[in-house]
Structure 1
């Protein structure tokens, strides 16, 4: 079939399906064991990847009838993933042989043909429904294998960065990986993901839907592409604009900027608005921003939210200027406030491990969004009450008394209100500024800086502004009292001089 370029007949299709299924079972039993990659090595030595690549190419030509159904190609990609799982040697072979380009091009092609409206429309035609599921599975498997491969490549890069000097082989690997990631970014894969995220609605509120898994793997793929740009040591994202190009060797961030970060906030906004409508229908039209109303989110929705926020926070560390500029645009800023309000209200009412993780990520994102940016700071005071800033200042009591939780919340409170009278005034009505003053004083006495921790204080608020912040948050009442006493002393001195 692969040689003659003829469509698979039923006999050949069933034979291929049976063999590929057996391969998956073999790798599931043996190949996934950390210390038993024997089956993967045998598969490689028998040119298994070449055969799989030829099968994937059966649907490579867009303008000709497909030679194999999508369900078979999806199963082929599953075998590809299983044969490569946790095997760096096989992963590097796929890179060096160029076979990985077939996977990338296949993902772009099938993402382009993915129509979200058709996928979410119910249809009684069983065959049509099977085709929809096969289409989803194929894109999901392609995104998963590419994310898995780039994860291993990033691990190789981390090992290379630990070397005191780079060998010629190291330089060759770095060059090939940079070219590959750059190729992925420039082949329009980011544009296709953005188009899909922009149109995704009402798709993650049921366990029967496979689309949430596809979104999760696409987000993971984006995350791994961004991770490739990570420096050896994270630096605070302040005052090193001239080095931004070093943090984007494959130009992934630059291209993501043109797609509004792959329309992630459009995705989150659409999902949460749909869930809000469901909550309103099920809870007598209780509003999205009512902290007393029960807000429930599906587990897969929580995973998508958490992965999205981790991705955005990684971008903020690598290039804060681009991050604040894109999220500061009017439409995206509005979506951000709605998403932040929803997450804060949800996590305030339901305290679980995954909700706490999600809460910490949205707090961190708000901090990066507003730090040293007065326009974005003021936007946090806009909208229906309670605003984002008010919800931050009304978090559970432990965030104001326990140091590990204060380390998460207080840098963001400072980022939202420092050098911004409007937000500081709001914050002062909700809490005592003495708490922030005491927090800053403690941080000024600390000598250990752990930049590897993204929640480290100086990763969110610039160290050289701490003394200015300390003066800024001094209680106004105390400043007023001190000014009155100083004025009285001056008057006494003047009287004494005159006398």
Structure 2
């Protein structure tokens, strides 16, 4: 599938994003009715799988290859759009089956191949790829948290993810004021950490280990403007976990984090709403 065609399909799908864009009632109803068929068809003909393989084929840095970068960006954009418009019901099962079989559409392996060999001096096109990849990962986590956490529970995949996160925080963290893409990388990257640890004690404990201490230190050095995403993530890291609170309390003021949770912004935060709703469900099931 050519880069131009991927971009064209992404544009065509834009009106179907019924959750974010207002439309006349007729178009809205039409979109809702046709979305499952469109997604099912895209999966059935192998389009989603083919797009995933484009990401999975990348085995080395691609900064010097502009056409490859553009193709990967178009691919990530189209996969993000398909995931973004996917209804959160039974019709998502076919798409999620590809998410599982390709390990998040190959995004983690793509990030690892393009970023880790480069180190902390990440060139601009690679930053763009990272921003698009983390946006896709976050969109998957929003679609189905259980599937996201299950896939990321694989040790090798999680270690690759942690390596990428560590490097990006070191590189992009100090440069968040330079351009929007470094900001976008940090915002979506930090949010994926929160979704990964939401109501998941095993993952919480991974991030308070000595191995991951550098990630917490990097989060503590981010500008105050990022508190709006850092605080929800830290609340996911510490929820019902006293050990995590003790560790994170060494780098952050827990009182400020708790105050954010009680604030109007905290009450409206999607990550925290998901955290609390899942926590209530778990409490009911344990009774």
TM-score by length of 2: 0.83
Instruction: Give structure 2 stretches of 5+ with no counterpart.
Output: 281-287
CA distance in 2, matches of 1:422, 1:328: 21
- 1:221 pairs with 2:221: no
Residue 387 of structure 1 aligns with which residue?
A: 214
Residue 186 of structure 2 aligns with which residue?
A: 359
Residue 63 of structure 2 aligns with which residue?
A: 205
Residue 276 of structure 2 aligns with which residue?
A: 462
Map residues 324-339 of structure 1 onto 2, 5 A cutoff. Answer: 324-339=149-164
Are the equivalent residues in 1 in contact too, given 2:207–2:213 (CA < 8 A)? no
- Deviation (angstroms), 1:219: 0.5
- Deviation (angstroms), 1:302: 1.2
Distance 1:383 1:303, change over 3 A: farther
TM-score by length of 1: 0.50
- Deviation (angstroms), 1:406: 2.4
- Deviation (angstroms), 1:463: 6.7
CA distance in 1, matches of 2:40, 2:109: 25
- 1:182 pairs with 2:182: no
Are the equivalent residues in 2 in contact too, given 1:367–1:460 (CA < 8 A)? no
- TM-superposition CA deviations, 1:238-293 (whole Å, max 9, x none): xxxxx6426x2x732232222211111010011112212xxxxxxxxxxxxxxxxx
CA distance in 2, matches of 1:447, 1:313: 20
- TM-superposition CA deviations, 1:298-319 (whole Å, max 9, x none): 2211111111111111221221
Larger radius of gyration: 1
Whose helix fraction is larger, Structure 1's or Structure 2's?
2
CA distance in 2, matches of 1:389, 1:156: 33
CA distance in 2, matches of 1:219, 1:315: 12
Are the equivalent residues in 2 in contact too, given 1:324–1:369 (CA < 8 A)? yes
Map residues 125-140 of structure 1 onto 2, 5 A cutoff. Answer: 139-140=2-3
RMSD: 3.1
2:104 to 256, 261, 273: 261
CA distance in 2, matches of 1:263, 1:359: 20
1:433 to 254, 258, 265: 254
Distance 1:416 1:156, change over 3 A: closer
Distance 1:227 1:457, change over 3 A: closer
Distance 1:213 1:464, change over 3 A: closer
Residue 298 of structure 1 aligns with which residue?
A: 123
Map residues 63-462 of structure 1 onto 2, 5 A cutoff. Answer: 107=1, 139-154=2-17, 163=25, 170-171=29-30, 174-206=32-64, 208-230=65-87, 244-245=89-90, 248=92, 251-276=94-119, 295-351=120-176, 352-353=178-179, 354-382=181-209, 384=211, 386-392=213-219, 394-396=220-222, 398-399=223-224, 405-440=226-261, 442-443=262-263, 446=264, 450=268, 456=270, 458-459=272-273, 461-462=275-276
- TM-superposition CA deviations, 1:184-237 (whole Å, max 9, x none): 11222232233332230334222x53100000000111011112225xxxxxxx
CA distance in 2, matches of 1:424, 1:369: 17
Instruction: Give structure 1 stretches of 5+ with no counterpart.
Output: 1-106, 108-138, 231-242, 277-294, 467-499
Distance 1:181 1:244, change over 3 A: closer
Matched residue count: 278
Distance 1:304 1:182, change over 3 A: same
Are the equivalent residues in 2 in contact too, given 1:197–1:267 (CA < 8 A)? yes
CA distance in 2, matches of 1:447, 1:365: 19
- Deviation (angstroms), 1:159: 5.2
Are the equivalent residues in 2 in contact too, given 1:194–1:263 (CA < 8 A)? yes
Distance 1:314 1:156, change over 3 A: closer
Are the equivalent residues in 2 in contact too, given 1:306–1:357 (CA < 8 A)? yes
